[in-house]
Chain A
Amino acid sequence: MKNLFRAAAVAAVAALALTGCGGGGSTSSSNVAPTGEIKPREISWLLSRPADGAVINIMKKLADDYAKDHPGFALNLITTPDRPSYIQKLETLAAANKLPELFDTDATPFAQQLAKQGKMLDAEKLLKTLGIYDKYRPGALDYQRFDDGSLYMVPFQYELEYIWYNKALFAKAGVSVPKSLDDIPAMCTALRGAGITPIAIDGQDQWPLERYVAYQPFRAAGPEFVQKLKKGEAKFADAAGQKTVNWMAELGKAKCFQDGFSAQGYSDAQNQFTSGQAAMYNIGTWELSSLATDKLNPAVRNDVDFFTLPTTAGSVTAANEFVSPSGIGMAVNAKTYDPLVSDFLKFALEKYPAEYAATGALSPTTDVETTVPANATPLYRKALDQAKDLGSKQAMPWDTQLDPTTNTRLQQELVLLVQGEITPQQFTETMDNTIAQNAPKFFK
């Protein structure tokens, strides 16, 4: 009855017709090796990845291969690449207790609640049982972990985020690669003086600007800062917090981002950089095929290079520690986990890395070598090689860390701060209040 009401209540808000509702899961999240017969059926994976991207293409192929030996098996891939829409879909389905066999999620506070309720399978145990746990890059797994170290998602990617820059534009403005994060505002002023847009940014999607606010605290206080901040144990009013707030305001004052950035999208930003209008562009290795192959505009092809996140004076993290995400992870629904799902995952996860590395991407595992595509520029290899020498810490994107209400407010206030509409003091006050109001509900 209660479950039925819950489903109806979601329908009221979502105006979605959700009928029926399964009972609470009686399966345990740690029973990773179910016994019994493998009965092929159709299983679904709710995911948020590009529709024609490598992950989906490979998993489709592997599912087809598996179906040859297991007639009746099919993998239904339901993708919603737009992340905010995807999260809404996921949360609505979770509320109705209608999650499919496999679903994508970051290590968000919401996902942690699902894990606590036993709705997700313990991925560490799963990977260990399959005997592939040790093949994964520690960093790729760490990115998926919750703060308590538990692991409930399996990574399918491994990406490194760099600041790409145009050497010719740097020379024109007389600036060089920054030695410290604190050099960037002055660089922006110099670039603007030479009539160049300093940084092209996708403001519409909001996470790109949110990356910047994470940089200074990661250097000043390490990855622990955001873990404390999101619970209200650290504040923007603290030293590391104030450093980033003031730095963001300075970036805005120095007009680092293109005019009207908040209404510009992903491809707008990339076009500004690849057309030679903007000097810097902060993006991950998932864009290697556009930035380090002959697809790149010939006019800038020889001028493009990248640097990694600069350090600062007194930085507690090293130069080889920066944002290195393993992408959105795949969680396994504990309720629908059975011998079939288990057997398919064993089959697919073992074969996946080799196929993935062959597409020119970095595998989340270390047992395969990435194939550099034939049309790559020398930069491609250089970008991949960074993965061989990384420190043990990584900067987490804040949008996966904060509770959703705080995250939304932070994204809004950041735009206002950078545009100079609010002062650093106002920003600090608003954000510390927002966290105090919303964090307790999520992290009790």
Chain B
Amino acid sequence: MQPTRMLPNRSRTSVLVFLLPPLLLYGAAVLFPILQSLFLSFFSWNGISDMEFVGLANYLRMFTGDDIFWRAFANALVYLAICLVLQLGGALVVASLLTSLRRGRELVKTLYLLPAVISTVAIAFLFVRIYSLEPVGLLNQLFAWVGLGGLERPWLSDVNTVLAAVSAPEGWRFTGLYMLIIYAALLAVPKELEEAAVLDGASRWTLFTKIRFPYIRPVWITTTIMATTYGLRGFDIPYLMTNGGPGQSSELLTTYMYKTAFTSTDFGYASTISVFIVVECLVAVGLILFLLKRKADA
């Protein structure tokens, strides 16, 4: 009689006891800085001057008076799109091919995962060399060898190519990681279902869209959220490779925020931008959940 009622009670207390420390830590390390940024975003402060309350002036400046902000926002979206296509699209393709591979799966997996464990700085320097024109880097050399010499260009100095050029290394880097997650999900698809479908005459494409993909959808949602939030927070590779240049061609919201805070010492305005980044990430996650859930229910 009692035990059935006691157990939920006891577990509620123990759940609380065990959850409280990490929650407090989370509050102190994540929520508190976010709230403080929100607070700072209403001030004008350069670090050594007196803090001056300016109300919504920083937000007004961000939305109406700052051309670099909008440029950086648009760049961040393009950066995100390229990263997502490379990371999720690439991961899905490679993972699907892996499942049909009979030998050497481990080797391929390891090779694809390798970039994820190399340090960011090394990757940035590596790609600066690859994209270089004077002296000729790998990419331009390849174009020259296959007779596409007309495509040779300084990829990181050309305002039309630089954004794609700084996005690609970030996408390339984590393709292997997401591939591993999706591959694990694909392995869990019941073989009987697939075999039954094949017996019924389903094509490979139908097999994928009707059986495999619906089965891995929960994992896919998580992976998409991870990749999107990482993409929106992307900072290190563009910062190291071009520092946002030439001009503002590869400036992302994150690099712009960083410069505003630590080069211009405009901590108030930098906080305003960081508040925007937080909101942007939350909106993106909400949107993904909404779209993918609705599809699943349909």
Interface residues of A (CB under 8 A from B): 6, 8-15, 84, 87-88, 91-92, 94-95, 110, 113-114, 117, 197, 203-204, 258-264, 272, 403-405, 408-409, 412-413, 415-416, 419, 421-422, 438, 441
Point out the residue from B128, B134, B259, B263 that lies within 8 Å of A259, measured CB to CB.
Answer: B134
Contact in complex: A264, B134 (CB < 8 Å): yes
Contact in complex: A9, B40 (CB < 8 Å): yes
CB distance from A177 to the nearest CB of B (A): 25
Contact in complex: B246, A419 (CB < 8 Å): yes
Chain B interface SS verdict (over half): loop
CB distance from B98 to the nearest CB of A (A): 36
Q: List 9 A-B contacts (CB under 8 A).
A: A8-B36, A9-B36, A9-B40, A12-B32, A15-B33, A92-B47, A259-B157, A262-B156, A263-B132
Interface residues of B (CB under 8 A from A): 32-33, 36-37, 39-40, 44-49, 51, 68, 128, 131-134, 153-154, 156-159, 241-248, 259-267, 270-271, 274
Q: How far is the CA of A113 from the CA of B48 in the complex (A)?
A: 8
Q: Using known A-B contacts A9-B40, A259-B134, A260-B154, determine if residue A412 contacts B248 with beta carbons closer than 8 Å.
A: yes
Q: What B residues does A91 contact at CB under 8 A? A: 47, 262, 265
User: Interface centre among A110, A113, A264, A403, by most B CB within 10 Å?
Assistant: A264
Q: How far is the CA of A408 from the CA of B247 in the complex (A)?
A: 10
Nearest 8 interchain pairs by C-beta: A260-B154, A95-B47, A12-B36, A263-B156, A88-B262, A416-B247, A260-B157, A405-B264
Contact in complex: B262, A92 (CB < 8 Å): yes
Contact in complex: B247, A261 (CB < 8 Å): no
* Residue of A whose beta carbon sits closest to that of B61: A437
Contact in complex: A415, B37 (CB < 8 Å): no
Q: What A residues does B266 contact at CB under 8 A? A: 405
Q: How far is the CA of A94 from the CA of B265 in the complex (A)?
A: 11
Point out the residue from B37, B243, B248, B264 that lies within 8 Å of A12, measured CB to CB.
Answer: B37
Q: What A residues does B37 contact at CB under 8 A? A: 12-13
Contact in complex: B48, A12 (CB < 8 Å): no
Q: What B residues does A9 contact at CB under 8 A? A: 36, 39-40, 45, 51, 267
Q: Using known A-B contacts A92-B262, A415-B246, determine if residue A113 contacts B49 with beta carbons closer than 8 Å.
A: yes
CB distance from B241 to the nearest CB of A (A): 7
CB distance from B7 to the nearest CB of A (A): 41
Q: Using known A-B contacts A260-B156, A405-B264, determine if residue A421 contacts B247 with beta carbons closer than 8 Å.
A: yes
CB distance from A191 to the nearest CB of B (A): 15
Point out the residue from B32, B45, B48, B241 that lies within 8 Å of A263, measured CB to CB.
Answer: B241
Q: How far is the CA of A87 from the CA of B258 in the complex (A)?
A: 13
* Residue of B whose beta carbon sits closest to that of A91: B265
CB distance from B140 to the nearest CB of A (A): 10
Contact in complex: B265, A110 (CB < 8 Å): yes
Contact in complex: B246, A262 (CB < 8 Å): yes
Q: What B residues does A10 contact at CB under 8 A? A: 47, 267
Q: What A residues does B242 contact at CB under 8 A? A: 262-263
Q: What B residues does A419 contact at CB under 8 A? A: 157, 159, 246
Q: What B residues does A12 contact at CB under 8 A? A: 32-33, 36-37, 40, 271
Q: How far is the CA of A405 from the CA of B242 in the complex (A)?
A: 18
Q: How far is the CA of A412 from the CA of B131 in the complex (A)?
A: 20
Contact in complex: A259, B133 (CB < 8 Å): yes
CB distance from B45 to the nearest CB of A (A): 8
Q: What B residues does A404 contact at CB under 8 A? A: 263-265
Q: How far is the CA of A204 from the CA of B33 in the complex (A)?
A: 33
Q: What B residues does A203 contact at CB under 8 A? A: 157
Q: How far is the CA of A263 from the CA of B128 in the complex (A)?
A: 8
Q: How far is the CA of A396 from the CA of B128 in the complex (A)?
A: 32
Q: Using known A-B contacts A13-B40, A260-B132, A419-B159, determine if residue A117 contacts B47 with beta carbons closer than 8 Å.
A: no
Q: What B residues does A259 contact at CB under 8 A? A: 133-134, 154, 157
User: Interface centre among A6, A13, A94, A261, by most B CB within 10 Å?
Assistant: A13
CB distance from B60 to the nearest CB of A (A): 13
Q: What A residues does B159 contact at CB under 8 A? A: 416, 419, 421
Q: Using known A-B contacts A13-B267, A88-B262, determine if residue A258 contacts B245 with beta carbons closer than 8 Å.
A: no
* Residue of A whose beta carbon sits closest to that of B128: A263
Q: How far is the CA of A419 from the CA of B159 in the complex (A)?
A: 9
Point out the residue from A87, A261, A264, A412 that lies within 8 Å of B244, measured CB to CB.
Answer: A412
Q: Using known A-B contacts A87-B263, A419-B157, determine if residue A262 contacts B245 with beta carbons closer than 8 Å.
A: yes
Q: How far is the CA of A412 from the CA of B68 in the complex (A)?
A: 11
Q: What B residues does A403 contact at CB under 8 A? A: 264
Q: How far is the CA of A416 from the CA of B159 in the complex (A)?
A: 9
* Residue of B whose beta carbon sits closest to that of A442: B46
Q: How far is the CA of A8 from the CA of B137 in the complex (A)?
A: 46
Q: How far is the CA of A263 from the CA of B246 in the complex (A)?
A: 8
Q: How far is the CA of A117 from the CA of B47 in the complex (A)?
A: 13
Given contacts A405-B264, A408-B264, 19 further A-B contacts (CB under 8 A): A8-B36, A9-B36, A9-B39, A12-B40, A13-B270, A14-B262, A91-B47, A92-B47, A94-B47, A95-B265, A95-B267, A110-B265, A260-B158, A408-B259, A408-B263, A409-B68, A416-B159, A416-B246, A421-B247
* Residue of A whose beta carbon sits closest to that of B152: A259
Q: How far is the CA of A197 from the CA of B135 in the complex (A)?
A: 12
Contact in complex: B261, A13 (CB < 8 Å): yes
Contact in complex: B131, A263 (CB < 8 Å): yes
Q: How far is the CA of A405 from the CA of B44 in the complex (A)?
A: 14
CB distance from B158 to the nearest CB of A (A): 8
Q: How far is the CA of A272 from the CA of B132 in the complex (A)?
A: 14
Contact in complex: B48, A415 (CB < 8 Å): no
Q: What A residues does B68 contact at CB under 8 A? A: 409
* Residue of B whose beta carbon sits closest to that of A265: B128
Q: What A residues does B263 contact at CB under 8 A? A: 84, 87-88, 404-405, 408
Q: How far is the CA of A9 from the CA of B264 in the complex (A)?
A: 16
Contact in complex: B157, A261 (CB < 8 Å): yes
CB distance from B262 to the nearest CB of A (A): 4
CB distance from B104 to the nearest CB of A (A): 37
Q: How far is the CA of A14 from the CA of B33 in the complex (A)?
A: 10
Q: How far is the CA of A412 from the CA of B246 in the complex (A)?
A: 6
* Residue of A whose beta carbon sits closest to that of B49: A113
